[in-house]
């Protein structure tokens, strides 16, 4: 007997199922080959809908004032979904709202879940975004009436059917065995801990029986990646799973932030089973300092917390070539650019490319002004980038700031706010260190965007 599916989308007053209500629900029943029935209704959430959500969905407080309350349509929803697989795009969001709504009525709502984000990643890999709008657009699916329940349910249905077309082995539609996930879970790990893991991007932490972090990882889908550690699917199996007694996580919103946070957390906690990124390989940066004589030095160095870097480089070769160009363009002293350590005048002075600050032939103030001009040129040519992406919640966005080629950190802000400048971004970011691993991550990310 093939499985039945209930493709569901809801609209809500906010992003937290524990504190917000459902304003609209759409259910499309599907037998794995075609649609068999559908149902939709507005719902009175018995709580105000904030202006941002009203603008996003078009559902106003006036529209739901006379709509049925959840308890009036609960029986219909229960019967339609009974025995069916609960299908949704980012399924945990919709499922958590409906489950909480039934819980408030004293009913325990449990259905098998299926996420079309995960399905589309599996059958259509390589896309930069798997949001409903973006993946539908990429696959040629016309999504109509977005951010209304039936419009998004229709789009999810079409996406689901596209996935079924690629499912040659019928793995989606075949009934699942009753064994489930429990047989592959580590013996010390409570089943509830695994079941409550989110299917969202973030960083996860494995703890041993003594409460010590033994491994840190990142994932686009935390629950799926952790499950693969236990099963070995995708060559992700770990050899120490028998030691895992607890799992915690931090949601990140985007894969880039998950990568950046994972790198920082590994260096901070130094987990025994993480092999890569424990030691900061450093990145070469351009910095400056003033010596006892008041002369401003430029230096290329591995990034260090005591330095205030002006820009960073992919390699030492790129850094030295950049320094040579500055020395030639601004008549800078090789000695005070830290590329010559011998006493006396620098070789550039003998070549008439230095005006003699290294042998007291030039006024220090005049020389320092040229150094500052060189630094100002660095600021004008080094890349400053504001990267905006999805947030951890429904009405949130994330921001990563790179200023003059230096990673400054990341943060989150309300999607109602518009960020257009580094100064605005700094109001929301938490500062993080620029490291060699961070440089590698950013280089990889920028390459993927090209």
When pLDDT is cut at 50, 70 and 90, the band that residue 3 belongs to is confident
Backbone angles phi, psi at 401, to 5 degrees: -115, 125
Q: Are residues 375 and 397 in the same domain?
A: no
Asked if the structure places residue 278 within a domain, the reply is no
Q: Are residues 374 and 397 in the same domain?
A: no
Residue 294 has pLDDT above 60, yes or no: yes
d(CA 211, CA 243): 11
Backbone angles phi, psi at 284, to 5 degrees: -80, 130
Q: What is the largest CA-CA distance in the chain?
A: 92
Q: Are residues 258 and 294 in the same domain?
A: no
Asked if the structure places residue 279 within a domain, the reply is no
Q: Are residues 410 and 375 in the same domain?
A: no
Contact 4, 31 (CB under 8 A): yes
Contact 311, 406 (CB under 8 A): yes
At residue 450, the pLDDT reads: 52
Task: Decide: helix, strand or coil at residue 248.
Answer: strand
Sign of the CA dihedral 179, 206, 219, 6? Answer: positive
d(CA 298, CA 336): 6
Pairing of strands 284-290, 296-302: antiparallel
Q: What H or E segment, with its residue span, contains residue 313?
A: strand 311-313
Share above pLDDT 90 across residues of the chain, in percent, rounded to a whole number: 51
Q: Are residues 149 and 230 in the same domain?
A: no
* Boundary residue ending a domain (381, 396, 417): 381
At residue 433, the pLDDT reads: 86
Asked if the structure places residue 347 within a domain, the reply is yes
When comparing pLDDT for 441 and 244, which is higher? 244
The predicted model gives 45-66 an average pLDDT of: 92
Torsion-angle region of residue 423: left (phi > 0), alpha (psi -120 to 50) or beta? alpha
Q: Are residues 210 and 320 in the same domain?
A: no
How far CA 334 is from CA of 80, 339, 344, in Å, comes to 78, 5, 11
Asked if the structure places residue 277 within a domain, the reply is no
Q: What H or E segment, with its residue span, contains residue 328?
A: helix 316-330
At residue 305, the pLDDT reads: 57
Residue 177 has pLDDT above 60, yes or no: no
Q: Which is the catalytic residue, given 147, 229, 297, 350?
A: 147
d(CA 344, CA 139): 68
**Residue 64 in tokens:** 């739901």
Q: CATH no. for residue 252?
A: 3.40.1440.10
Q: Are residues 9 and 147 in the same domain?
A: yes
Asked if the structure places residue 419 within a domain, the reply is yes
Task: Decide: helix, strand or coil at residue 90.
Answer: coil
* Boundary residue ending a domain (166, 200, 215): 166
**Closest C-alpha to 8, from 107, 105, 112, 103:** 112
At residue 307, the pLDDT reads: 66
Average pLDDT, the chain: 87
Q: What DSSP string describes 18-53?
A: TT--EEEEEEEEE-SSSEEEEEEEE-B-SSPPPHHH
Residue 182 has pLDDT above 70, yes or no: no
The predicted model gives 343-367 an average pLDDT of: 80
Residues 6+ apart with CB under 8 A from 429: 399, 400, 401, 408, 409, 410, 411
* Boundary residue ending a domain (141, 166, 191): 166
Asked if the structure places residue 199 within a domain, the reply is yes
At residue 399, the pLDDT reads: 96
Q: Are residues 59 and 148 in the same domain?
A: yes
Number of compact structural domains in the chain: 4
Q: Are residues 59 and 141 in the same domain?
A: yes
Q: Are residues 355 and 250 in the same domain?
A: no
Q: Are residues 18 and 147 in the same domain?
A: yes
Asked if the structure places residue 75 within a domain, the reply is yes
Q: What DSSP string describes 135-182?
A: HHHHTT----STTSHHHHHHHHHHHHHHHHHH-TT-TTTSPPPS--SG
CA 93 and chain centroid, separation: 17
Residue 41 has pLDDT above 80, yes or no: yes
89 in active site: no
Q: Are residues 213 and 120 in the same domain?
A: no
The predicted model gives 107-111 an average pLDDT of: 90
Range of the domain at 404: 385-449
Residue 361 has pLDDT above 90, yes or no: no
Asked if the structure places residue 248 within a domain, the reply is yes
Neighbours of 56 (CB within 10 A): 17
């Amino acid at each position: 007997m093939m499985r039945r599916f209930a493709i569901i989308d809801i609209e809500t007053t906010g992003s937290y199922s524990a504190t917000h209500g459902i304003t609209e629900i759409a259910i499309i029943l599907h037998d794995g080959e075609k649609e068999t029935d559908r149902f939709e209704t507005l719902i009175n959430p018995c709580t105000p809908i904030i202006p941002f959500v009203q603008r996003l969905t078009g559902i106003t407080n006036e529209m739901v004032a006379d709509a049925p309350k959840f308890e009036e349509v609960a029986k219909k929803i229960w019967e339609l979904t009974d025995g069916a697989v609960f299908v949704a795009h980012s399924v945990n969001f919709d499922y958590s709202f409906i489950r909480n709504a039934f819980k408030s009525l004293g009913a325990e709502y449990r259905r098998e879940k299926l996420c079309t984000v995960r399905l589309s990643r599996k059958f259509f890999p390589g896309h930069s975004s798997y949001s409903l709008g973006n993946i539908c657009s990429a696959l040629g699916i016309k999504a109509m009436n977005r951010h209304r329940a039936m419009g998004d349910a229709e789009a999810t249905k079409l996406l689901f059917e596209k996935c079924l077309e690629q499912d040659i082995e019928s793995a989606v539609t075949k009934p699942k065995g009753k064994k489930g996930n429990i047989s592959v879970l580590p013996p010390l790990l409570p089943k509830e801990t695994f079941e409550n893991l989110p299917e969202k991007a973030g960083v996860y932490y494995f703890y041993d029986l003594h409460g010590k972090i033994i491994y840190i990882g990142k994932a686009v889908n935390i629950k799926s990646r952790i499950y693969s550690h236990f099963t070995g699917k995708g060559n992700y199996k770990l050899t120490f799973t028998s030691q895992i007694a607890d799992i915690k996580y931090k949601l990140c919103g985007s894969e880039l932030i998950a990568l950046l946070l994972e790198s920082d957390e590994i260096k901070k906690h130094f987990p025994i089973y993480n092999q890569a990124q424990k030691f900061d390989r450093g990145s070469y940066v351009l910095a400056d300092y003033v010596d006892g004589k008041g002369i401003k030095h430029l230096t290329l160095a591995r990034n260090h917390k005591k330095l205030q870097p002006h820009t960073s480089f992919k390699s030492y070769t790129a850094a030295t070539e950049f320094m040579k160009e500055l020395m030639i363009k601004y008549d800078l002293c090789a000695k005070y650019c830290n590329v010559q350590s011998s006493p006396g005048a620098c070789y550039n002075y003998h070549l008439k490319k230095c005006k003699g600050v290294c042998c007291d032939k030039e006024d220090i103030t005049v020389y320092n002004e040229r150094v500052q001009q060189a630094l100002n040129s660095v600021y004008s040519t080094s890349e400053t980038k504001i990267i905006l992406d999805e947030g951890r919640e429904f009405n949130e966005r994330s921001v990563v700031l790179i200023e003059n080629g230096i990673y400054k950190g990341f943060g989150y802000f309300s999607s109602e706010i518009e960020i257009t400048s580094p100064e605005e971004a700094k109001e929301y970011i938490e500062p993080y260190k620029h490291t060699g691993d961070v440089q590698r991550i950013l280089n990889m990310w920028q390459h993927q965007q090209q």
